[in-house]
Amino acid sequence: MVLVECRFGDAAAVEMMVDSGAQHSVISAPLARRLGLMNRLDRSEQGVAAGVGRARIIGKLRSVAIYLKNVEFALDFSVLEVQDQLLLLGLDQLRRFRCIIDLEQNVLVFGGAGGVQVPFLEQERVRRYIQGTPLDGCRQM
């Protein structure tokens, strides 16, 4: 499991799972509410997300400012109607920002070779995340 730390404005830092197997980047409705993002929800793009499980997509958040290693990025997220706190970076945004998942250096590189390097969370923090979080969850750091 690959996790990176990110921040939404002045909100607390949260863990974001990097999932190259997910077609779209997603955020759970409870986390979007906690971060004060639901007033920006575009409900015109609803549907069902299917993969390991199924969840209702209640809309889309566009150009959400998040900070990774003090660099601001405007990311798009589908909002899922699930109970867990979930934040996942999928292929849509990985491709858009020409990301490289560098498993040798343990960094996610935004902008291709020579871009902004965002370190993976160390394995001990990943273990604590897994132990302290429900399936597909995301905890406040």
Domains defined along the chain, listed by start: 2-131 (2.40.70.10)
**Closest Cα to residue 91, out of 27, 1, 18?**
18
Burial of 67 (0-12, 13-18, 19+ CB in 10 A): middle
Q: Give residue 118's pLDDT.
A: 96
Question: From CA 107, how far away is CA 86, in angstroms rounded?
Answer: 21
Q: For 20-65, how does the pLDDT look when each residue is reduced to its tens digit (9 = 90+)?
A: 999 999 999 999 999 999 999 998 887 777 766 778 889 999 999 9
Stated pTM of the model: 0.83
- Polymer length of the chain: 141
Q: Identify residue 6 by its one-letter amino acid code.
A: C
Percent pLDDT > 70 in the chain is 89
| CA distance to 57, 91, 128, per residue, from 139 (Å) | 21, 22, 10
Confidence of residue 9 (pLDDT cuts 50, 70, 90): confident
Q: Give residue 10's pLDDT.
A: 79
Positions annotated as catalytic residues are 19
**CA angle at residue 62 from 4 to 73, to 5 degrees?**
40
**CA angle at residue 53 from 68 to 50, to 5 degrees?**
80
